[in-house]
Structure 1
Amino acid sequence: MGDQGAGHAAPAPLQEIASRISDLSKWREIFSFPGLEINSTTHQQGRSSAGHGPPGAGESPGSQPPSTVPRPLLLPQGMGGCPISPDTAMRLQQLLFRSTAPLFSCEWAAARFRFHPPRSHLAYALQAGKGGTRAILAAVQAHIITYLLFTRETECTHLERLCQLGRREQGQALATALAETLWAAGGGGRAVVCLITAPVTTMPRAGCRASSFTDRIRLFEFSEKAAAQEFISDHINSFKGEGSHGVILFLYSLLFSRTLERVQEDLGDAAPLLNISSGNITCTEAVLSLLLTGRASPRQLGGGREPERGAGSGGAEAPCPRGPVGFLRWERAPLQRQVSPGLRTPRLPVWLCSLSGRHSVLFSTDSRLLSDWKAERIFHLYFYSGQQEQTQTAHLTIDTHSHHWEEAEREGPCSPGRRRPALEMAIRTKWAGATVSWNGTDPFF
């Protein structure tokens, strides 16, 4: 009897052990996703604005981690969307590099939209890092600031409000900025979002070298901006998570929102969208124009002082209208190109700055600054360089009615004005002769 009872009792422990092994494998798989860390905030932020994100790398289609765990990066193959055909992949590479070989560097592959810690001095700011991706990050940063200060419903628009952002508000601001930029690139009628799926088995045709993930990208097209923004918000980890290729995905989304045909028409010549020099990959002004105006035309950033070489129609291009984000440039060169008046004076006081090739953001918290001339006598601007060394937003005071001697047109290359920081000189391209006070901070840009 004892032996018979033991025989019937044996399966229960075995089943329990097998169940625990299965659970252990599942949790090992969940916590092996790139960028997933176990910390004290995991259970608090699991259902944030990124809480409906896609399942991630290594996960079998159909399985999902518990809602208390942040969603990983990759989509299952059954999510829908359209793949990028081998021919389209080649055209994309041609536009980017004038080459069909995948030339993105490890630096670009690692770039993503990562904020500084929430509720800190730079809670509103993206960590720009180094290299050629900073131009894209800075442009998106300008759109983020525009949303946080002037678009969202809020009782106050002072700098302190930007420092009080929580993690969920950061994700919402990023999703809004990305959607707004893609919608503008789509001409106000469409947006295309690129996300990476689980591996596929389709092989590119002979002669086409697909990148490590371009053949796994799916295109999701939207005809309503709100729907695109909601989709991006649900999958925000695909742009800000570690290992997400977030900046490259956003650049692809921009190009497909504009359409590759229209981007080629915008360029009008054989110049690629990205420059490669000494191993560094940097954005051309065509990319900046696409980010700011919705058109990949570098002539949109200029004031028409340069001949329009390679223009497809051969005619003069219409002046750039005032957009929500402006552009200021300063180059230490004898013949600096003038920025279009519509970009020097945007609808809202937020500017992407190109200072000797380095990109940063300048902004005011006063929405009336560019619509009331009285507000432009003495006013305040704030500056974020994206440099790792900057731990607080720089506060500048601009006086446009003092020291008019600085407006001398024949200022020599060794005069005091020529030796001023690049940021101050860029500000003077908008407010000629203005004096700039750094309010006790040592000028650093």
Structure 2
Amino acid sequence: MMGKYVEEVSVSLVREYLSRKGLKRTISCMDEELPRTDSSINNRSDLRRILHLEGLYKKNKTEEHPLKSMLEIIVKERLNEGDKARAHHHSDSQPHPSDQTPSRATLDVSDNVKQDERILEGLHYDIPSQDSLTTEIKEELNSEKKVPDPESQKNRGNRMRRGIMAGPIASSSQESNRRRPSRKASGSSSFRTTTEDCKDTTGWTNGFNTTHIKSNPSASPEGEGSMFSHLNNGVLGSNGLEKIPGVKPQHRLKNSPPNPKVDELHMLEMVLDDVENEGSLCDVSTASGAKLKLHRTSMDQITATALKKILFGSPIACFTEEWKQQNFTFSDTLGLKYGIIQKKGGPCGILAAVQAFVLQKLLFEEPSSDSQYEILEVSNTERTKCLYLALADILWRAGDMKRATVAVNTGRNLFTPIGRYKSDGVVEKITCVTVDTLDDLTSVLKQHVRQFETGPFGCILLTISVILSRTIAVVQSDMDVPTSTLIGAHGYCTQELVNLLLCGRAVSNVFDDEMKLDSGNGNLTLLKGIKARCNIGLLSLFEHYNICKVGSHLKTPKFPIWVICSESHFSVLFSLSEELAADRWKKKEFDLYYYDGLANQQEPIRLTIYPDAAAQNDNADNDLIPPLELCIRTKWQNALVSWNDTDPIL
């Protein structure tokens, strides 16, 4: 256990260093190969306390050129201890140190330390732990009195190339200068990218740090006050941000001057809670050179309360464990790798809607095969791509094709609840990223897709994202009764929530357009339905029982994919042939595939539909007909369904 804890501390120490240096692409690379876990240290104050650096940290802040990262502070302290030990040794053995000249070994060690600094700054993949770094430093200090062996120096360089401290190795100072922009030293062991270098290499712009504006009133849009920071309470999202997938923006107070462009960092889980005296960092653009325009705001109690009211009807209600544990993890069953697994009952409406849009991408927009049957044999990379593209479509539609908001889990509470509000450990940890273009939305979701696919709260994050994309006020106005909720009894999704995902509006009904009812005394009640033909359809068992009427906008969607509402559960029915959705489709037998993420399917379920073959069975006992067949008959009235040797689902 101790070894694992040491590893977590070491990894967090390296992440803190990378964030201070603005090595955003390196952080993204590190997160790919070494994902964060629940035991990761997400707070700089906690990390400082664990490493017992409070005294050194305060001492560092009083320096003329304070170091920015804890790793540098540790290294400097170790080097200073070595200097003191060496000075003490020299004073004992040589009474006239002023007559001494630096030995060749000392010069070599100095060169090696500088080389290690350059290597550490450029690291991308294999990150050294604190223990290994301390060992390296001790070896350097202990070798000062020895003449370095050329062969051992060569082997040491080979070890670095093999991954101990992976990064560019400069064989000489001239080669080093030729490979990278010049560096400007700040302090005995810090190295800071100069402003000119940033401008030349990454299109640098200043950011404005307002996280500690009260304690640091001298902070300004330029110089030492510039830095990315997390959102504190009362700090609103600012202006457009550079295009860095999944990066973390700056924010400003309501009365602070606008900042045209702000730096971001993909460090949502590493909280920047003590960034006074921070320097400006370089922006990192995407491979295409485009720049994201993001607006980021942290969750506050007012927004959280409004969210809970529209979700549950009360701010003291909380998400159930079924919701908290649910994400969009795919099945590994052969033939069903496209399927999203539902762990327990509750959020099936969300899962079925997302599953339907994933199938739309997989089958008709991002096909990986020309064969209709091989197309379902999707790779892990392909299905993840279809997932974030599907989420982008859902959120962009909810935002009226103008804007969208992505809820991201920061890993820590962003406000302390007071009054009549019950914390559930989810809503309080969310930061909201708002974008103004579909491309930016896709980039953000691509960067954070693991939070939705495999991380905790994936289903909750999408639910909150789609509400905030539509906005809470507009969602309320969509409903027939503004006090309706999106999550009903037993944690089930209401029709309003399912409609919000399918058509972008949280309307209460499934018929086409609107319906006006006479309420008496000359009053009319307006019932809102589906305004236009949807990409994904819906078939309902309630229509079979004459409880509702599903209109053509849902019953005849643009793609042959339907969410099935049956027995208080949502699942998906789809065809591999896009022709089935054509308006002039010729009535003949065809195949449909059925997927239920909660049914623990072990193989695909293929149904063959004979549209007019069941007319003679109108008097059959409906109790013996599977509910899925009854749903199918709401669209193909006289259909006969063959389960093709699969046991019917009753």
TM (norm. structure 2) is 0.55
| Correspondence 1:328 to 2:309 | no
| Correspondence 1:151 to 2:132 | no
Shift of 1:339: 0.9
Aligned to 2:636: 431
The structure with higher relative contact order (CA 8 Å, sep 6+) is 1
Change (3 A) 1:358 1:68: farther
| Correspondence 1:192 to 2:173 | no
Aligned to 1:103: 318
Give the partner amino acid of 1:405. Q
Q: Distance in 2 between matches of 1:66 and 1:203?
A: 37
Structure whose alpha-carbon radius of gyration is higher: 2
Aligned to 1:248: 460
SS at match of 1:292: helix
5 Å matches for 1:190-229? 190-200=403-413, 202-229=415-442
| Correspondence 1:338 to 2:553 | no
Aligned to 2:299: 84
The question of whether the paired residues in 2 share the 8 Å contact of 1:73 and 1:238 is answered with no
Q: Distance in 1 between matches of 2:338 and 2:625?
A: 28
Query: Could you report, residue by residue, the CA deviation over 1:199-232 in whole angstroms, capped at 9, with x for unpaired residues?
Result: 2463234333333132221000011112111211
5 Å matches for 1:332-411? 334-371=545-582, 373-406=584-617, 408=618, 411=619
Change (3 A) 1:194 1:313: farther
Shift of 1:320: 3.2
Give the partner amino acid of 2:449. I
Q: Distance in 2 between matches of 1:367 and 1:388?
A: 26
Shift of 1:80: 7.7
SS at match of 1:380: strand
Aligned to 2:308: 93
Q: Distance in 1 between matches of 2:587 and 2:34?
A: 44
| Correspondence 1:283 to 2:496 | no
SS at match of 2:553: helix
The question of whether the paired residues in 2 share the 8 Å contact of 1:324 and 1:346 is answered with yes
4+ aligned runs moved over 6 Å, structure 1: 21-24, 302-306
Residue segments in structure 2 that go unaligned for 5+ positions in a row:
13-26, 45-68, 70-122, 128-245, 247-265, 273-293
Change (3 A) 1:319 1:212: closer
Change (3 A) 1:334 1:80: closer
Q: Distance in 2 between matches of 1:347 and 1:389?
A: 29
The question of whether the paired residues in 2 share the 8 Å contact of 1:306 and 1:337 is answered with no
Which stretch shows the higher mean deviation, 313-322 or 264-273?
313-322
5 Å matches for 1:257-276? 257-269=469-481, 270-276=483-489
Give the partner amino acid of 2:316. A
Change (3 A) 1:261 1:329: same
Q: Percent identity?
A: 27
Residue segments in structure 1 that go unaligned for 5+ positions in a row:
1-20, 32-45
SS at match of 1:361: strand
Change (3 A) 1:319 1:282: closer
The question of whether the paired residues in 2 share the 8 Å contact of 1:266 and 1:297 is answered with yes
Give the partner amino acid of 1:192. T
Shift of 1:333: 7.3
The question of whether the paired residues in 2 share the 8 Å contact of 1:369 and 1:376 is answered with no
Shift of 1:89: 1.0
Give the partner amino acid of 2:271. Q
Aligned to 1:3: none
Give the partner amino acid of 1:75. E
| Correspondence 1:26 to 2:23 | no
The question of whether the paired residues in 2 share the 8 Å contact of 1:289 and 1:301 is answered with no
Shift of 1:419: 2.6
1:298 to 496, 502, 508: 508
